[in-house]
């Protein structure tokens, strides 16, 4: 396929009656990791929820593999090849690892990819998910998104609250997804780690795209990133997210 795998054109999204995301045009090319950055409250999760059909898209179009999906219910978007690892890291705590994966299995999906990417999970397949470490639970949540053989996976803040060594492990696994033919739309607070694995980046500020370009343009450029996140007027506010 030469065109984008996922294409948003002029998409605006509400939370309830409140407009949060405004006129976003975005593309994920096949075989790439595309990064979405932005300060807390910029609208990143709302953007993914809109793509997944969990928040109301009020204008614009969303295409997956050139098919319009913007009016489909969430489960049909998933069937069309859209995987979503949501920001809340929720597993079924009293079910085993394998049962958690099976619950998410659609049609003839299989667990091989999840176990291939995360051998840790296969070793603990009969353990109740509530006994896994935070990092392993995140692996399980990502693994669950893989069992229905998606073409594209959206991953929202998988590193939240995890130790840097685990975050690196997860980031390497995300990069490995490309070898399975899965493209990625990645939201990440650890901007520099995301920019290292990503090809193209978007930065959202107050629900609008304020940067659209190659990751290399932002990589290691804290000043530029800061300006994208907060604008020059707010300079000095909220640097915590960029330091990591």
Ligand X SMILES: Nc1ncnc2c1ncn2[C@@H]1O[C@H](COP(=O)(O)OP(=O)(O)OP(=O)(O)O)[C@@H](O)[C@H]1O
Report the residue number, 7 or 42, with the smaller CB distance to ligand X: 42
Give the 3-state secondary structure of residue 222: helix
Among 34, 45, 100, 137, binds Mg ion (CB under 5 A): 45
Q: Could you say which of 2, 16, 94, 165 contacts ligand X (CB under 6 A)?
A: 16
Residue of 24, 28, 34, 44 that binds ligand X (CB under 6 A): 44
Backbone angles phi, psi at 7, to 5 degrees: -135, 125
Binding segment (CB under 5 A) for Mg ion, from list 26-34, 48-56, 84-92, 234-242: 84-92
7: left (phi over 0), alpha (psi -120 to 50) or beta: beta
Under rule CB under 6 A, residue 46 binds ligand X: yes
Question: Is 32 an interacting residue with respect to Mg ion (CB under 5 A)?
Answer: no
C-beta closer to ligand X: residue 19 or 30? 19
Nearer to ligand X, 79 or 192 (CB): 192
Nearer to ligand X, 181 or 238 (CB): 238
Q: Which among ligand X, Mg ion, none contacts residue 219 (Cβ within 5 to 8 A by kind)?
A: none
The residue among 22, 24, 29, 23 whose CA lies nearest residue 6 is 29
Strands 152-156 and 183-187: what pairing?
Answer: parallel
Q: Where are the beta strands (DSSP E) in 16-170?
A: 18-28, 33-37, 56-64, 67-68, 82-85, 152-156
Residue 198, SS3 per DSSP? coil
Q: Closest Cα partner for 28 from 231, 177, 189, 219?
A: 177
Could you say which of 38, 70, 83, 135 contacts ligand X (CB under 6 A)? 38
Name the site residues for ligand X (rule: CB under 6 A). 15-16, 18, 20, 38, 40-46, 87
């Amino acid at each position: 396929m030469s065109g984008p795998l996922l294409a948003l054109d002029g998409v605006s999204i509400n939370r309830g009656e409140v407009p949060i995301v405004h006129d976003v045009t975005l593309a994920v090319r096949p075989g790439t990791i595309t990064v979405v950055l932005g300060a807390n409250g910029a609208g990143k999760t709302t953007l993914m929820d809109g793509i997944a059909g969990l928040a109301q898209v009020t204008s614009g179009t969303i295409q997956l593999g050139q098919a319009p999906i913007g009016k489909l219910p969430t489960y049909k978007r998933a069937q069309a090849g859209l995987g979503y690892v949501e920001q809340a890291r929720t597993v079924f705590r009293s079910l085993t690892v394998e049962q958690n994966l099976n619950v998410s299995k659609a049609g003839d999906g299989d667990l091989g990819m999840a176990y291939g990417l995360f051998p840790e999970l296969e070793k603990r397949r009969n353990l109740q998910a509530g006994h896994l470490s935070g990092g392993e639970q995140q692996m399980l949540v990502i693994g669950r998104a893989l069992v229905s053989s998606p073409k594209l996976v959206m991953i929202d803040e998988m590193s939240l609250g995890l130790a840097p060594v685990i975050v690196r492990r997860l980031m390497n696994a995300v990069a490995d997804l490309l070898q399975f033919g899965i493209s990625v739309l990645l939201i990440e607070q650890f901007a520099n780690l995301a920019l290292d694995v990503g090809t193209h980046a978007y930065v959202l500020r107050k629900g609008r795209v304020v940067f659209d370009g190659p990751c290399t343009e932002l990589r290691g450029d804290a000043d530029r990133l800061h300006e994208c996140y907060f604008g020059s007027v707010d300079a000095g506010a909220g640097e915590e997210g960029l330091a990591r």
